[in-house]
Amino acid sequence: MSNFKIIHQDKNCAARCGTLTTAHGKIKTPVFMPVGTAGAVKGITPRQLAETGTDIILANTYHLLLRPGVETVEKLGGLHKFMAWQNPILTDSGGYQIFSLSTLVKINDDGVEFASHVDGAKIFLNAEKATQIQNRLGADIIMCFDQCTPFPCEQLQLKQAMERTIRWATQCKEAHANSSQLLFGIVQGGTDLSMRTHCASELVRLGFDGYAIGGLSVGEGYENMVKTAAHTSQLLPENKPRYLMGVGTPTDIIAAVRAGVDMFDCVIPTRNGRNALAFTENGPLRMRNSSHTDETLPIETGCNCYCCTNFSRGTIRHFFNTAEMLGPILVSLHNITFYQRLMAKIRLLIEKNEFDDWAKEQLKKRPNGNA
């Protein structure tokens, strides 16, 4: 029996809404997952996170392996207790760090040797080890080990990475030993649509609980991202969740939902929040701007987040200008709430068969992927 149920399919595009059942509860899709790389969403308590409407959060295998270590997480009660989050959690496998820490890695068909960005210690990860670590951490959804490539990328390197991703996915499935966890395969191939087609075909043949589209948001640009995501999404089984990794802005998400994607994660709402950029339905606001000095309005009128119901733009600008840590916390809270409100609106519009027209209008207002 599938853990994923489609509730409604939009009549005018590939968008769909549904539910994904995990060991720690059901997730409404399309869904956005805030990123808690090292076991916490920066500056946000789990209680605050729940109040934003968040169903599921993401943590990272590589970073938790370095600090505090999988043994420590186990001794502290497992990942859910460690993070004080009893709702669903997804762990990335560490494949993205092959790209983001490229100057610190040595890679071959057997796996990857990392020089720790913390102390330079040598750490080896392969498909089997990455899966075993995730089994022990105990997240609800775990990811196959893959090789994420940069953009641009030479064809030979791209092909090698795609073939390794398929080989490693086979090894991950063989190593997976925790039946309470869902295992997702990751489609790679850069912006080469023929490679994406081949990789998706091989992963679907292997059979996974869900499928991710990896290797995007690495410099390829908005048009390439949307084209590649739309192409890949339609290669994946209709009855399994589709997850676009590391994407993105509100515009990115709207375009990808229209293409049939169900799941998203990105550091954008929290990273931008820490840097004084707030998302609103009328576009982003830069909270350090002098125009906010005496402004009594909240960041967004009608927003029910803790930030907007208690603080003015002028106060928030003051917090940033005096390096008061409350500023980044408040704007991060608002941004996550904004994203979750966006996802709730998307789900409702899909159910009402009104999403496609609304999406076209939103994308026309935000050309070239502008937030």
Q: Hey, what domains does the chain have and what are their CATH numbers?
A: 10-272+334-369 (3.20.20.105)
% pLDDT > 70, the chain: 100
% pLDDT > 90, the chain: 92
Average pLDDT over residues 215-220: 95
- pLDDT confidence of residue 220: 96
Cα separation, 143 vs 368, whole angstroms: 30
Sign of CA dihedral 336, 7, 16, 350: negative
- pLDDT confidence of residue 76: 98
Structure tokens at 62: 């590589």
Annotated catalytic residues are 92, 265
Cα separation, 139 vs 131, whole angstroms: 11
pLDDT digits (tens, 9 = 90+) for 28-46: 999 999 999 999 999 999 9
Say whether pLDDT at 118 is over 90: no
Q: Which residues pair with 29 in a beta bridge?
A: 18
pLDDT digits (tens, 9 = 90+) for 132-183: 999 999 999 999 999 999 999 999 999 999 999 999 999 999 999 999 999 9
Cα separation, 26 vs 147, whole angstroms: 30
Confidence of residue 1 (pLDDT cuts 50, 70, 90): low
- pLDDT confidence of residue 2: 81
